[in-house]
Amino acid sequence: MPGCAQPCRYCFLVPWEIEAFRRSVGGLSPASIRAYSSDTERFAEWAGRGGAQGPGDVDRILLRRYLAFMATRRYSKATISRTAASLRSYFQWCARRGLITTDPSGRLSAPSPDSRLPRVLGHAELHQLLEPEPEAAGSAGTRPDVACRDDAVLELLYGSGMRVAELCSLDVDDVDLARRVVTVTGKGSKERQVLIHARCAESLRAWLHGPRGDMATEASPSAALFYNLRGNRLGPRDVRRLLDRRSPVPTHPHALRHTFATHLLDGGADLRVVQELLGHASLQTTQVYTHVSKERLLTVYSGTHPRA
């Protein structure tokens, strides 16, 4: 800051205007905002050590050298690809702001991330998640009110395919049990409506008219649909811990979204309908689930056809 006795990190990053860039991408998800700003900040510090004092000192060769540097430090292809996207966004913003005259990231490319098919839960795993044995729940020390909430959370994740962050941000008014519709605010603050099945609606009704009020405290956000044990709005980490208690094998919350989409496609749902339900901006993003379905069909075919 002005008047600092010694150079500090804040003073060094001021010419790069990274804080202003972070505010400019405020419409993205919190995770994307953190990734864009931290990726750009790491590049600015690295470039600064080589003598670059701001975005005007950066050219395409320097950007390519940085991505090569990341590869030598064994960063994953996915991280390098995301960093390239962050830097393209940052320098496009710099050009719009007039901080640079030429965008050095125009043709910046990065290695494509390794293709990994989403994990799909089997029917036995789903049964253990959604309908755990009473003895298993008791041995885990799960309170009845927590079990009721967990039932509603898991039924909603698998029954609607929403992202865990979308579920955690839900308010009571977003749920229409009569119509069995939930209004979800997704990436880029875009709203969509998702459908829920009867069993999911029953679980939500049991939570709303049962332990939800008891779990709330005076400091609890009154609008929140789900609470944790401290009376705060349920967060993604709470959901991961919930799955750790209920799942027989390590399972990420996103696996329920993958399973939702794959089971719909396996049942004959149209790809564009699945795209709409998932909230994907591009059909290409949804198409990964067709690969999952084909893999499952091939497995069934190979295991059951007499000539396979």
Q: What angle do CA 31, 36, 38 make, to 5 degrees?
A: 90
Which phi and psi angles does 251 have, rounded to 5°? -140, 130
Side-by-side strand order, sheet with 191-195: 175-176, 181-185, 191-195
Rounded Cα–Cα distance for residues 29 and 145 (Å): 31
- Return the percent helix, strand and coil in the chain, to nearest 5: 60, 5, 35
- Residues annotated as part of the active site: 163, 187, 254, 257, 280, 289
- DSSP label at 175? E
Rounded Cα–Cα distance for residues 202 and 221 (Å): 23
Residues contacting residue 7 through CB under 8 Å, at least 6 positions apart = none
* Cβ-based burial of 38 (10 A; exposed 0-12, middle 13-18, buried ≥19): middle
